[in-house]
């Protein structure tokens, strides 16, 4: 690392000492963009690293609501408006008990570069609450969402900040949030994405993150004249991203043998076929049940309580649950068991040691901000349709998503090779490529717009 990157990293560490996930995300980006910073002094001259690691605005608010027994409950709400150099703040809302400022800052920071890679005009933001939707009635979730939006509405808008879903925020929550926004502001605008089709949503948005991750994996494999057909795939998570990734992997002829939730994973050596996946969708999205039930329903499967699926031998691994779900030892186990590709549906699912293991083994590694960008890209397409007051067909949206994922892949690939030197030159380091490509567009835009 150069003097500039080391100094800024030290300053960021000192200022944000109690935000380990944010520091991890910053370290990963800064350590890989050093060649660009060395080659072009304008970034240091304009203090771009110091500015890009500080959110433009952070909003923290009280969210009071009443549960079904009439008890008063209080949660904390957040919106981190990180960077608006290339468009309105854009990024999801996460409702999970683990949510705190540091986690949302890591997610918002990642979102800056991810959104830049999509080629669409979207800045970076993220928000959410430590509210836990698990075990709550629909009425409780609605009252919480209404209270959350009562404060959030004054900070967002179709040209200002456009939230969407993330962990714990799906179609139900977006509906309640949108309803309250419309009621308070008396306007029907594309202020949220992930809406239902009847009221401004886009076809393929629910599928987009998972489909996009599969498309990214296809593109990586193509560089080695390989394809997904016939590959044994290990997937974690069983929520929105995992569900549609499994659907697409099945369509592309791969065999998916695991899914998980925060309690454990199921291993089905015969594959999670389309009919079994349909059962999983009903289990998770309608009954809101646990993945454990899969092993009761399908006798070919076994359930492993309290474990993650990374010791299952596979050709390809797709972490789609949460941050830091693969550590250095688990990454080493994947590689030892023959895994040749990791594509990240979740945000920052591999820790820094794990990433170093992938890079040392020279496997195909698609980092989150590139591999899962199809979700937010399709949110960008939803915004475009809302502005036009038109709806595109699913074929049109899917074709655009496919093109965007190829473009992100090629952009990361080309930037990786432009800056790779010596023995690294033949290997595609998509981490460096994605970070550099995402960074340059935002940093140049910040310079164009002066010191704001």
Q: Which residues bind ligand 2IT (CB under 6 A)?
A: 90-92, 114, 164, 166, 193, 347, 375-376, 379
Listed ranges 31-39, 70-78, 238-246, 430-438: which one lies at the site for ligand NDP (CB under 6 A): 238-246
Active-site residue, selected from the candidate residues 105, 114, 126, 284: 126
The listed partner (ligand 2IT, ligand NDP, none) that binds 85, CB under 5 to 8 Å by sort, is: none
Both tokens of residue 340?
A: 């040749």
Centre a 10 Å sphere on the Cβ of residue 252 and count the other Cβ atoms it contains.
17
Binding-site member from 88, 200, 201, 237 for ligand NDP (CB under 6 A): 237
**175-182 long-range CB contacts below 8 Å, 24 or more apart?**
176/141, 176/142, 176/145, 176/146, 176/149, 177/93, 177/145, 177/148, 177/149, 177/152, 179/146, 180/145, 180/146, 180/149, 180/150, 180/153, 181/149, 181/153, 181/156
- In the complex, minimum distance from the CB of residue 273 to ligand 2IT, in angstroms, rounded to a whole number: 28
Both tokens of residue 126?
A: 């993220």
Site residues for ligand NDP, 135-174, by CB under 6 A, read 165-168, 170
- In the complex, minimum distance from the CB of residue 27 to ligand NDP, in angstroms, rounded to a whole number: 19
Q: Rounded to the nearest 5 degrees, what angle is found at the Cα of 210, between the Cα atoms of 337 and 119?
A: 115
* 124 DSSP β-pair partners: 83, 90
- In the complex, minimum distance from the CB of residue 55 to ligand 2IT, in angstroms, rounded to a whole number: 16
Residue nearest to ligand NDP (CB): 239
Site residues for ligand NDP, 312-341, by CB under 6 A, read 320-322
Burial class (CB in 10 A: 0-12, 13-18, 19+), 15: exposed
Listed ranges 7-15, 55-63, 216-224, 231-239: which one lies at the site for ligand NDP (CB under 6 A): 231-239
Both tokens of residue 342?
A: 């990791």
Both tokens of residue 141?
A: 């979730």
Under 8 Å between Cβ of 227 and 316 = no
- In the complex, minimum distance from the CB of residue 335 to ligand 2IT, in angstroms, rounded to a whole number: 26
Binding-site member from 99, 149, 214, 346 for ligand NDP (CB under 6 A): 346
| Residue 65: strand, helix, or coil | strand
Catalytic annotation on 195? Answer: no
For ligand NDP, the closer of residues 36 and 90 by Cβ is 90
The listed partner (ligand NDP, ligand 2IT, none) that binds 237, CB under 5 to 8 Å by sort, is: ligand NDP
Beta-strand (E) ranges in 243-375?
255-261, 264-267, 302-305, 316-318, 341-343, 364-366
411 binds ligand NDP (CB under 6 A): no
Interface characters, 369-408, with ligand NDP (x: CB under 6 A): ---x--x---------------------------------
- In the complex, minimum distance from the CB of residue 178 to ligand NDP, in angstroms, rounded to a whole number: 16
Cα gap 213→232, rounded to integer Å: 16
Binding-site member from 21, 140, 261, 398 for ligand NDP (CB under 6 A): 261
Cα gap 30→32, rounded to integer Å: 5
- In the complex, minimum distance from the CB of residue 326 to ligand NDP, in angstroms, rounded to a whole number: 11
Binding-site member from 5, 32, 180, 240 for ligand NDP (CB under 6 A): 240
- In the complex, minimum distance from the CB of residue 87 to ligand 2IT, in angstroms, rounded to a whole number: 11
Residue nearest to ligand 2IT (CB): 92
The listed partner (ligand 2IT, ligand NDP, none) that binds 77, CB under 5 to 8 Å by sort, is: none
For ligand NDP, the closer of residues 43 and 168 by Cβ is 168
Cα gap 404→364, rounded to integer Å: 19
* φ/ψ of residue 233, rounded to 5: -120, 135
Binding-site member from 26, 152, 241, 246 for ligand NDP (CB under 6 A): 241
Short-list 164, 108, 124, CA closest to 446: 124
For ligand 2IT, the closer of residues 150 and 193 by Cβ is 193
CA torsion 410→417→439→193, rounded to 10°? 20
Cα gap 187→198, rounded to integer Å: 16
Interface characters, 174-213, with ligand NDP (x: CB under 6 A): -----------------------------------x----
For ligand 2IT, the closer of residues 28 and 166 by Cβ is 166
Q: Alpha helices, DSSP H only, in 40-72?
A: 42-45, 48-52
The distance of Cα 89 from the centroid of its chain, to the nearest Å, equals 15
For ligand 2IT, the closer of residues 167 and 416 by Cβ is 167
The number of residues that bind ligand NDP (CB under 6 A) is 22
Q: Alpha helices, DSSP H only, in 363-420?
A: 368-371, 374-388, 394-419
The listed partner (ligand NDP, ligand 2IT, none) that binds 202, CB under 5 to 8 Å by sort, is: none
- Residues near ligand NDP, by CB under 6 A: 165-168, 170, 209, 237-241, 261-263, 320-322, 345-347, 372, 375
Catalytic residue IDs: 126
């Amino acid at each position: 690392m150069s003097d500039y990157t080391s100094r800024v990293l030290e300053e960021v560490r000192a200022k944000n000492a109690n935000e380990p996930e944010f520091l991890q995300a910053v370290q990963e980006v800064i350590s890989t963009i050093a060649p660009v910073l060395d080659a072009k002094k304008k970034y240091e001259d304009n203090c771009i690293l110091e500015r890009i690691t500080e959110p433009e605005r952070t909003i923290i608010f009280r969210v009071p609501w009443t549960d079904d027994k009439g008890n008063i409950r209080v949660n904390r709400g957040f919106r981190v408006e990180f960077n608006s150099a290339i468009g309105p703040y854009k990024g999801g809302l996460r409702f999970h008990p683990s949510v705190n400022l540091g986690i949302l800052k890591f997610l918002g920071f990642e979102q800056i570069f991810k959104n830049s890679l999509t080629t669409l005009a979207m800045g970076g933001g993220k928000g959410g609450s430590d509210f836990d939707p698990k075990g709550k009635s629909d009425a409780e979730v609605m009252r919480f969402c209404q209270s959350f939006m009562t404060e959030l509405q004054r900070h967002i808008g179709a040209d200002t900040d456009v939230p969407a879903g993330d962990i714990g925020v799906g179609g139900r929550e977006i509906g309640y949030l949108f309803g309250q926004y419309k009621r308070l502001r008396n306007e029907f605008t594309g202020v949220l994405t992930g809406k239902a089709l009847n009221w401004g949503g886009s076809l393929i948005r629910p599928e987009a993150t998972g489909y996009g991750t599969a498309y990214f994996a296809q593109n990586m494999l193509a560089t080695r004249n390989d394809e997904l057909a016939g590959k044994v795939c290990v997937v974690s998570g069983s929520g929105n991203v995992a569900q549609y990734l499994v659907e697409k992997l099945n369509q592309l002829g791969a065999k998916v043998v695991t899914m998980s939730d925060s309690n454990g994973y199921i291993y089905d050596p015969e594959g999670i076929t389309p009919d079994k996946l349909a059962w999983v969708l009903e289990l998770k999205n309608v009954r809101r049940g646990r993945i454990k039930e899969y092993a009761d329903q399908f006798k070919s499967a076994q359930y492993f309580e309290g474990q993650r699926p990374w010791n299952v031998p596979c050709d390809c691994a797709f972490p789609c649950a949460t941050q830091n779900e693969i550590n250095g030892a688990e990454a080493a186990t994947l590689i030892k068991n023959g895994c040749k590709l990791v594509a990240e549906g979740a945000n920052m699912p591999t820790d820094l040691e794990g990433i170093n293991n992938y890079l040392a083994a020279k496997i195909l590694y698609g980092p989150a901000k590139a591999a899962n960008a199809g979700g937010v890209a399709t949110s960008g397409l939803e915004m475009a349709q809302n502005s036009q007051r038109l709806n595109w067909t699913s074929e049109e949206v899917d074709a655009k998503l496919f093109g965007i994922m190829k473009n992100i892949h090629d952009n990361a690939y080309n930037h990786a090779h432009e800056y790779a030197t010596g023995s690294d030159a033949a290997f595609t380091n998509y981490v460096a490529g994605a970070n550099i490509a995402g960074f340059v567009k935002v940093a140049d835009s910040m310079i164009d717009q002066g010191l704001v």
